[in-house]
C-alpha cells in the first residue's frame, strides 16, 4: 500500500544560524558558531563535530546478519534496488571503504528519482537508512544536498501525523515512529529532531497498545503488516536502549514482549507469516533472535527453539510455556495448534471481515491459505449477508485433546450461519463445519469454496467422494460427511476440486443444513481403509429429520469418531447408543463401544 505525503525540502543553511535550532544540550562550539552568523564556518564546525563525537551504535542490541536490520522484511528478489541501497548505507555508517562517497553520489539521484510524496514500504525503509547515515554523509555531501536530505526526512515525520486512518499501518509506524526516533538518536544536537523523537516515542507507546489486544495479539486487520511491525518495534526498542530517554512506555514494552510469543505462534514451518503472501511475511532469523534477545524470557527462548527454523530444539514441553493455541475475540484472530513444534498441525482463522480467511498447515505443507467463501440459497433465492453483519465468536475451548472455535454470522431472512473448527491434537484431524439454520422449511442450497495452495496436488477416487490433498504426493484425505461416500449417489451433494478450488455443494429440503468437512491429517493412516455414514438420530422413540439433528460416524483403519450436531434447540436425543442433550459432540469410539468426548457443547 502506498501512503501519500506532501513534502517540499528547504535547502538553506542560514536557518541553522538561529540559536533556537539547536537543543540546549548541543556543544557550546556549535552554538557559538551559530551566533557568529557565519554559515560556512558553522558547516565546518558541524562536520568536524559529527566526525569526532562519540556516536553510539544504533544496532548494538541487534543480532547481526548478512543484511541490514532494515532489510529484515524484504526479499532480495523483489526489492533488489532497495536492499542494495540499504547495504551500501550500512557500510557507509560503519565507515567501510568508499561506501560513504558512493552513497553521497547516489543521494542526489535518490532525491530526484524517489517520489517521496507517495511513500511505500521500500521508500520508508530507504528513508530510515538515509537518516542513520546522515552523520557520515556530512563529510562527503555539499551542505545543500545534506540539508535537502535532512529536511526531506524531517518533513516525512511531520507529514506522517496527517496520514489517513486507513493508511498502511506498517508504513505509518516506520515514518511516524521509527524515523523520528532514528533522527533523534543520530542528531540529538538539534531541537527539531529531539522534539520529533519524543513525539515518535509517544506515538509508538500509544499505538502499540491500540493495535494489540492487551495480551500481544495483533488485530487481524493488520496481519499484512505483522512482520513489518515486529521488525520496526524491535529496532525501536533497540534505539531505546541506546538513548534511555527514548524508551517506549513500560506497558508498550510488555505488549511488545507478548507480541513476540504471538509472532512465533503464527509461523509456518519455514518461518514465514501465516495468512499473508510470503513476500510480506518474510522469514528472518536475525529479526527473531534480536527480538528474543531484547524482550524474550526463558520460556520464549525454549519455545522458539522448537518452533522456529534453524534452532536447536530438543526440549520437552514445560508447564511454564505459553499455550501453543491462541485466541483473541478482540483481534478477531484464532490459532488452533497441536503443539509448539515446527511439524505441528495448526489452523489460523481471521474473521475480522467477510469473507473469513483461514490457513491449514500440516508439517511443512500449507494445504490452503484463503478465504472460505459460502453461498446459500433458499428456494432458489440467494441470501445476502446483512449489511451490518460481522462474525461473532460463539465458543472457544482449548485443552490437551483439541482446540474448538465456533463463529456465527447473520444472513438475510433471519437465517444464521454457524461455522466451527475443531483441531484434534493426538487424533490428528481437522473438522470444519457449517450449519445453516432458518425458521421454516425450504429447499436449501449450500456451496462453499476454499482455494488450495499453488503446489497442492489433488487426487480423486473414481468410486468414492473423498479427495486427497498434499504437496509432492496427495496424502491427506478430505471427507464430505454430509453427502454419500459413493460418487454414484449425488442426491445430497458433491465435493470436487477445479482450478485449485475445493468446492462442496449440498442440498436439503428443511429448515437447516449441516455441511461438515473432515480432514484426516495423519500420515500413518494414509493407506488405511476409510468409510463414513450418516447415523440415525432419535428423540422420543422417533427418528429425527436431518434438519433437526445429524450424526456421523467416521472410520479410518482402527480409529473411529462420532460427530453429532443439533440444528434445532438442543433436546435429549440418541445417536449410536449415546443419549445426549448437546448442541455439538465430537468423540472417539473405543473398542468397548464407549465414546470418549473430545469436545461437547451444551
Least confident of 11-20, 131-140, 565-574: 11-20
Tell me the C-alpha distance between 190 and 263, whole Å.
37
Domain assignment present for 429: yes
Burial of 354 (0-12, 13-18, 19+ CB in 10 A): middle
**Containing structural domain, residue 26:** 16-53
pLDDT at 110: 93
Indicate whether 175 pLDDT > 70.
yes
Average pLDDT of the segment spanning 3-14: 52
Average pLDDT of the segment spanning 72-92: 90
Confidence of residue 9 (pLDDT cuts 50, 70, 90): very low
Domain assignment present for 374: yes
Indicate whether 1 pLDDT > 60.
no
Q: What is the pLDDT of residues 289-337, one digit of tens each?
A: 999 999 989 999 999 999 999 988 777 777 789 999 999 999 999 999 9
CB 563 within 8 A of CB 582: no
CB 151 within 8 A of CB 9: yes
Tell me the C-alpha distance between 494 and 476, whole Å.
19
Domain assignment present for 556: yes
The residue assigned the cell 516525512 is 156
pLDDT at 385: 87
Domain assignment present for 449: yes
Q: What is the pLDDT of residues 494-527, one digit of tens each?
A: 999 999 999 999 999 999 999 999 999 999 999 9
Other CB atoms within 10 Å distance of the CB of residue 346: 26
**Nearest of 200, 1, 229, 2 to residue 116 by alpha carbon:** 2
pLDDT at 545: 96
Burial of 52 (0-12, 13-18, 19+ CB in 10 A): exposed
Indicate whether 60 pLDDT > 80.
no
pLDDT at 5: 43
Tell me the C-alpha distance between 84 and 63, whole Å.
20
Average pLDDT of the segment spanning 397-411: 97
What is each CA distance from 276 to 350, 371, 450, in whole angstroms? 11, 12, 16
Other CB atoms within 10 Å distance of the CB of residue 593: 9
pLDDT at 485: 96
pLDDT at 249: 98
Indicate whether 191 pLDDT > 80.
yes
Least confident of 37-51, 52-66, 368-382, 423-437: 52-66
Confidence of residue 64 (pLDDT cuts 50, 70, 90): low
What is each CA distance from 597 to 396, 588, 594, in whole angstroms? 16, 7, 10
Tell me the C-alpha distance between 446 and 312, whole Å.
47
Average pLDDT of the segment spanning 115-132: 89
Average pLDDT of the segment spanning 450-466: 96
Domain assignment present for 243: no
Domain assignment present for 191: no
Tell me the C-alpha distance between 136 and 156, whole Å.
21
Count of domains forming the chain: 2
Residues 6 or more apart whose CB falls under 8 angstroms from that of 271 comprise: 283, 284, 285, 288, 308, 309
Query: Mapped to the 3 state alphabet, what secondary structure does 440-480 carry?
Result: EEEEEEEEEEEEECCCEEEEECCCECCEEEEECCCCEEEEE
SS3 content of the chain, % helix, strand, coil (to 5): 35, 30, 35
* SS3 (DSSP) at 226: helix
Average pLDDT over the chain reads 92
* SS3 (DSSP) at 117: coil
CB 399 within 8 A of CB 327: no
pLDDT at 162: 75
Domain assignment present for 81: no
Confidence of residue 4 (pLDDT cuts 50, 70, 90): very low
Query: Domain containing 399 — which CATH number?
Result: 2.70.98
* SS3 (DSSP) at 599: strand
pLDDT at 220: 98
Confidence of residue 483 (pLDDT cuts 50, 70, 90): very high
Burial of 424 (0-12, 13-18, 19+ CB in 10 A): buried
Domain assignment present for 344: yes
The percent of residues above 90 in pLDDT, for the chain, comes to: 80
Q: Is the peptide bond before 99 cis (omega within 30 degrees of 0)?
A: no
Set of cell numbers at residue 450:
476454499
Amino acid at each position: 500500500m502506498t501512503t501519500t505525503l506532501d513534502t517540499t525540502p528547504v535547502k538553506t543553511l542560514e536557518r541553522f544560524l538561529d540559536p533556537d535550532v539547536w537543543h540546549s544540550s548541543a556543544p557550546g562550539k556549535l552554538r557559538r558558531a551559530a551566533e557568529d552568523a557565519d554559515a560556512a564556518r558553522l558547516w565546518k564546525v558541524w562536520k568536524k563535530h559529527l566526525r569526532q563525537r562519540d556516536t553510539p551504535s544504533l544496532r548494538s542490541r541487534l543480532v547481526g546478519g548478512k543484511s541490514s536490520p532494515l532489510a529484515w522484511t524484504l526479499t532480495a528478489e523483489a526489492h533488489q534496488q532497495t536492499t542494495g541501497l540499504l547495504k551500501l548505507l550500512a557500510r557507509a555508517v560503519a565507515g567501510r571503504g568508499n561506501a560513504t562517497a558512493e552513497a553521497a553520489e547516489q543521494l542526489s539521484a535518490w532525491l530526484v528519482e524517489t517520489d517521496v510524496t507517495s511513500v511505500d514500504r521500500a521508500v520508508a525503509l530507504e528513508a530510515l537508512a538515509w537518516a542513520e547515515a546522515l552523520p557520515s554523509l556530512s563529510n562527503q555531501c555539499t551542505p545543500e544536498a545534506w540539508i535537502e536530505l535532512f529536511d526531506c526526512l524531517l518533513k516525512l515525520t511531520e507529514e506522517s501525523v496527517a496520514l489517513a486512518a486507513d493508511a498502511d499501518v506498517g508504513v505509518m509506524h516506520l515514518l511516524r515512529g521509527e524515523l523520528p526516533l532514528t533522527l533523534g538518536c543520530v542528531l540529538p544536537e538539534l531541537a527539531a529532531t529531539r522534539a520529533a523523537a519524543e513525539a515518535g516515542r509517544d506515538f509508538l507507546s500509544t499505538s502499540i497498545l491500540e493495535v494489540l489486544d492487551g495480551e500481544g495479539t495483533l488485530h487481524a486487520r493488520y496481519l499484512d503488516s505483522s512482520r513489518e511491525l515486529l521488525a520496526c518495534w524491535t529496532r525501536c526498542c533497540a534505539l531505546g536502549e541506546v538513548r534511555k530517554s527514548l524508551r517506549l512506555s513500560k506497558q508498550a514494552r510488555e505488549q511488545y514482549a507478548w507480541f513476540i510469543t504471538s509472532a512465533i505462534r503464527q509461523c509456518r514451518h519455514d518461518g514465514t507469516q501465516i495468512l499473508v503472501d510470503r513476500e510480506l511475511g518474510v522469514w528472518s532469523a536475525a529479526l527473531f533472535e534480536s527480538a528474543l534477545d531484547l524482550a524474550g524470557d526463558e520460556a520464549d527462548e525454549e519455545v522458539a527453539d522448537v518452533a522456529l527454523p534453524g534452532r536447536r530444539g530438543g526440549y520437552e514441553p514445560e508447564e511454564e510455556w505459553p499455550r501453543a493455541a491462541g485466541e483473541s475475540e478482540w483481534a478477531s484472530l484464532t490459532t488452533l495448534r497441536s503443539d509448539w513444534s515446527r511439524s505441528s498441525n495448526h489452523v489460523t482463522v481471521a474473521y475480522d471481515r467477510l469473507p473469513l480467511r483461514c490457513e491449514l498447515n500440516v508439517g511443512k505443507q500449507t494445504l490452503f491459505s484463503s478465504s472460505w467463501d459460502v453461498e446459500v440459497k433458499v428456494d432458489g433465492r440467494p441470501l445476502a449477508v446483512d449489511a451490518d453483519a460481522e462474525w461473532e465468536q460463539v465458543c472457544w475451548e482449548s485443552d490437551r485433546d483439541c482446540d474448538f472455535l465456533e463463529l456465527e454470522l447473520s444472513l438475510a431472512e433471519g437465517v444464521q450461519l454457524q461455522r466451527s473448527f475443531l483441531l484434534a491434537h493426538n487424533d490428528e484431524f481437522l473438522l470444519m463445519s457449517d450449519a445453516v439454520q432458518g425458521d421454516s422449511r425450504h429447499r436449501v442450497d449450500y456451496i462453499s469454496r476454499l482455494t488450495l495452495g499453488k503446489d497442492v496436488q489433488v487426487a480423486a477416487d473414481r468410486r468414492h467422494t473423498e479427495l486427497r490433498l498434499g504437496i509432492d504426493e496427495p496424502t491427506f484425505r478430505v471427507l464430505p460427511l454430509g453427502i454419500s461416500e459413493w460418487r454414484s449417489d449425488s442426491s445430497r451433494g458433491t465435493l470436487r476440486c477445479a482450478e485449485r478450488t475445493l468446492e462442496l455443494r449440498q442440498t436439503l429440503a428443511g429448515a437447516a443444513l449441516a455441511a461438515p468437512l473432515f480432514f484426516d491429517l495423519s500420515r500413518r493412516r494414509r493407506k488405511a481403509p476409510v468409510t463414513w455414514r450418516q447415523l440415525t438420530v432419535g428423540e422420543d422413540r422417533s427418528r429425527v429429520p436431518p434438519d433437526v439433528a445429524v450424526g456421523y460416524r467416521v472410520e479410518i483403519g482402527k480409529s473411529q469418531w462420532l460427530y453429532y450436531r443439533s440444528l434445532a434447540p438442543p433436546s435429549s436425543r440418541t445417536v449410536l447408543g449415546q443419549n445426549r442433550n448437546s448442541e455439538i459432540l465430537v468423540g472417539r469410539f473405543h473398542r468397548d463401544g464407549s465414546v470418549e468426548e473430545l469436545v461437547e457443547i451444551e
